[in-house]
Chains A and B, each alone.
Chain A
Amino acid sequence: MSRISLVVDGNRYVAEITDSALLLDVLREQAGATGVREGCGVGACGACTVLVDGVSVSSCLALAERYDGARITTASGLPADDEVVESFVECGATQCGYCIPGFVMMAHELLTENPEPDKEDVVRHLDGNICRCGTYAEIRRAVLAAAEKRRAR
């Protein structure tokens, strides 16, 4: 067992963990970040995506111990006027919504790297995420809308 500290959505947490603990479980069980969700456990669906210092990470494949001191952002912690969140809401880009926070985090990373993505850029960056309700058209529209919204601000 060891102790790590994490800053999750701006709040500092201390967690007791085993050596094999996954970041996903620590975030959910010890930091209350239940918007970070398990879908596959093998990095193939994206439901557990968080940003670590702005970079997307599959928290189901990440050993918690290695993230001691990391600044972690989840969809719940995005600012009130976040363009990506707003665009997802406006474009109706959710059905059950379970996977959507993961798409939101991937969209954030994409827009940081590429403020003017085209449709293919969005597909390339978000293609590793699964929405089983099939909200893909709305999601893609939302990401492009968020880019536009950012540029306008």
Chain B
Amino acid sequence: MTMLHRPESLDEACMLLAELDDAQVYGGGTAIEILRRQGILFTEDLVDVSRIPELRAVETGPDGVRAGAMVPVRRMETDPAIRRAVPLAARTYGHVANPRVRNTATVGGNVAHGDYRLDPPTALLVLDATIEARSVRGPRSLAVREFFTGFQETALEHDEVITAITVPAQPTDAVGRFVKMSSLSANDWPSASAAALLTTEDGRRTLHLGLGALAPVPVHLSLDVSGMPTERAVSEAMAAAEPLMDPIPDVRGSSDYKRRLGLVAVREAATDVCEERTHA
């Protein structure tokens, strides 16, 4: 029988996670309900963290955004302050599934799910976000660039709960773009996605790329494109991204086809940021 535990504080949640043999943190639940239905997830003890007020907090400032783990994905997309501080992240969150799922799914659950096809990690990687987690052993921070460790695997310990994600402010002169490509119906999971951010610091132009659905984990890379015309920067970006792609073949396409879609995604995203086109 499923047991739903509903702690009202982080300490209580951490205690439960430490005490129970095989407990599962329950955030928005959109992924968990699907996995349970498919018989992939059997856990009987669910630790519902929706009653912990601090997990719902959003702080925005000149440094960026700190979003509690239980903040709905949809708020990341629509909150004006978040859109101002981290426009690339906000736009990328707006591509997750559909608005209903975005209303329920949470910032913390999204990354904890660890699915290689998810959209937000591509932007979080590019923006160098940090994930905050807690357990009975105390809090710790994990760089999102080190968070995804394998297919459906993250660096999170089984007794840890994500408490927040911190996204550093996107430099005001940086240009971001997210491109998502499906290979079958329009509203399907992506077969390739790419988030691109072009930053300029002391005359040095750096192109940051985050790739989704193109390897067992979301992938990040950066390259120096100082002084390069768009065409050259884009081809360098494609050349740098290609060896990092290792797509999983499935009903949506072969590995080879997904790699080619991935290159188109990189090409489009990189071209647009180099040409300063930021449309969603």
The answer to whether the Cβ of A128 comes within 8 Å of any Cβ in the partner chain is: yes
Residue of A nearest to B6 (CB): A65
B30 touches A19 (CB 8 A): no
CB distance from A97 to the nearest CB of B (A): 20
Stretch at the interface among B95-103, B154-162, B212-220, B241-249: B95-103
Query: Does B101 lie within 8 Å of A43, measured CB to CB?
Result: yes
| CB <8 Å contact, B104 and A58 | yes
| B37, chain A: closest CB distance, angstroms | 6
Interface string of B69-103 (1 = CB under 8 A from A): 00000100010000000000000000001111101
Q: How far is the CA of A150 from the CA of B98 in the complex (A)?
A: 25
Closest-CB distance, B269 to chain A (whole angstroms): 19
CB neighbours (8 Å) of B29 from chain A are 61-63, 66
Nearest CB of B to A75, in Å: 14
Q: Which of A27-54 contact B (CB under 8 A)?
A: 41-43, 46, 49
The verdict on B251 contacting chain A, using a C-beta distance below 8 Å, is no
Q: Report how many A-B pairs have Cβ atoms within 8 Å.
A: 74
Is residue A15 contacting chain B, with contact meaning CB distance below 8 A? no
Give the contacting residue for B100; candidates A18, A20, A63, A128; CB below 8 A: A128
Q: Place the interface of chain A in its size category.
A: 20 to 34
Could you say which of B4, B48, B50, B97 contacts A43, with CB atoms under 8 Å apart? B97
Known: A41-B37, A61-B33, A128-B187. A19 touches B100 (CB 8 A): no
Give chain A residues whose Cβ lies under 8 Å from the Cβ of B100.
43, 46, 49, 56-58, 106, 128
Docked complex: A73-131 residues within 8 A CB-CB of B: 106, 109, 113, 125, 127-129
Instruction: Report chain B residues within 8 Å CB of A20.
Output: 1-2, 4, 36
Q: Smallest distance from the beta carbon of A109 to chain B beta carbons, Å? A: 7
Does B240 interact with chain A (Cβ within 8 Å)?
Answer: no
Which residues in A have their C-beta under 8 angstroms from that of B4?
19-20, 63, 65
B37 touches A62 (CB 8 A): no
Min C-beta distance of B58 to chain A, whole Å:
16
Check A70 for interface membership: any CB of B closer than 8 A.
no
Could you say which of A20, A46, A49 has the most chain B C-beta atoms within 10 Å of its C-beta?
A: A20
Return B111 CB to nearest CB of chain A, in Å: 18
Closest Cβ neighbor of B94 among chain A residues = A124
Q: Are A57 and B104 in contact (CB under 8 A)?
A: yes
* Given contacts A18-B1, A18-B2, A58-B104, A127 and B98 within 8 Å (CB-CB): yes
Q: In this assembly, does A55 line the interface, its C-beta being within 8 Å of a C-beta of chain B?
A: yes
> Does any Cβ of A come within 8 Å of B34's Cβ?
yes
Which of A19, A46, A58 has a CB less than 8 Å from the CB of B2?
A19
* Cα–Cα, bound, A92→B99 (Å): 25
Chain A hits for B2, CB < 8 A? 18-20
Q: List 9 A-B contacts (CB under 8 A).
A: A42-B37, A55-B103, A57-B100, A58-B104, A62-B33, A63-B29, A106-B99, A109-B99, A128-B101
- Chain A residues at the B interface, C-beta cutoff of 8 Å: 18-20, 22, 41-43, 46, 49, 55-58, 60-63, 65-66, 106, 109, 113, 125, 127-129
For the complex with contacts A18-B1, A60-B33, A66-B48, 9 further pairs of A-B residues with Cβ separation under 8 Å are A18-B2, A19-B4, A20-B2, A42-B34, A43-B97, A43-B101, A56-B100, A65-B6, A127-B187
List 3 A-B pairs, minimum CB-CB distance, nearest first.
A128-B98, A20-B2, A19-B4
